[in-house]
């Protein structure tokens, strides 16, 4: 563990913070090396799902970087009371140090590099741990696009979803056949009606005494 940046055991989020009226600043309880290492979403008060990812540098900024006690997240727009701000670490690993053949190795840059690798591994462990195998049963991860989370389905649940989908396809096929039958009937009726209209004396003036529309 680095003495400069001690890294405790943590999953680095996700954390939910409930905003007060107009709040823009939120404390992040883990070390952040780059503002782009945070993923931030907001669930407005009264809503049931979180919105899309906020854009770093546009929707939010991050200060107090590389401080063991944590960082500060600042939104560009104040939130309403009751809004939920969700954030988590999502560092995209990159190499920032180099060691040349025969050159010297300095401890401070090396420690910093190892700290960054550590937090990346913590986040990887968090995300991998979100998928579990329950006993010997096959598990399917179903993505919920609305709130960008996932839940686990057993093999039986997954099979039920497939069966429901197949039933929906069959029902749609039945509706299609019925609609085609109605269309054919309508064409027949239209043809019959057209034949009758052809025999109508439409050129006659209904005001003529003794007018008969069928003659």
Residue-level pLDDT at 143: 43
Q: Counting Cβ atoms within 10 Å, is residue 57 exposed (0-12), middle (13-18) or buried (19+)?
A: exposed
Residue-level pLDDT at 75: 98
Residues of the chain with pLDDT under 70: 1-5, 101-103, 131-162, 164-215
If we measure between CA atoms, which residue out of 119, 156, 100 comes closest to residue 34? 119
Token pair listed for 72: 């500060």
H and E: helices and strands count for the chain:
2, 8
Where does 22-154 have alpha helices with state H? 107-129
Residue-level pLDDT at 97: 78
Residue-level pLDDT at 129: 79
Residue-level pLDDT at 144: 43
Q: Report the C-alpha gap between 101 and 133 in whole angstroms.
A: 46
Residue-level pLDDT at 104: 74
pTM of structure: 0.59
In sequence order, the 6+-apart residues with CB closer than 8 A to the CB of 17 are 26, 84, 85, 86, 87
Residue-level pLDDT at 65: 92
Every domain of the chain and the residues it spans: 15-98+106-121, 130-215
Token pair listed for 89: 């670490």
């Amino acid at each position: 563990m680095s003495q400069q940046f001690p890294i405790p055991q943590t999953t680095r989020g996700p954390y939910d913070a409930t905003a007060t009226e107009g709040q823009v600043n939120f404390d992040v309880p883990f070390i952040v090396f780059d503002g782009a290492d945070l993923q931030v979403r907001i669930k407005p008060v009264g809503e049931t799902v979180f919105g899309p990812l906020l854009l770093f540098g546009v929707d939010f900024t991050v200060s107090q970087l590389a401080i063991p006690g944590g960082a500060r997240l600042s939104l560009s727009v104040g939130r309403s009371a009751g809004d939920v701000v969700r954030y988590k670490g999502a560092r995209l690993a990159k190499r920032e140090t180099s060691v040349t053949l025969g050159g010297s190795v300095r401890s401070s840059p090396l420690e910093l590099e190892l700290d960054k690798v550590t937090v990346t591994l913590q986040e990887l462990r968090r995300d991998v741990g979100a998928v579990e195998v329950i006993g010997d049963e096959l598990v399917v991860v179903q993505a919920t696009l609305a709130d960008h989370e996932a839940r686990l389905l057993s093999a039986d649940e997954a099979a039920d979803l497939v069966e429901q989908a197949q039933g929906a396809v069959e029902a749609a096929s039945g509706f299609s056949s019925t609609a085609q039958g109605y269309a054919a009937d309508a064409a027949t009726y239209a043809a019959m009606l057209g034949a009758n209209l052809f025999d109508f004396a439409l050129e006659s003036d209904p005001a003529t005494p003794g007018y008969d529309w069928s003659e």
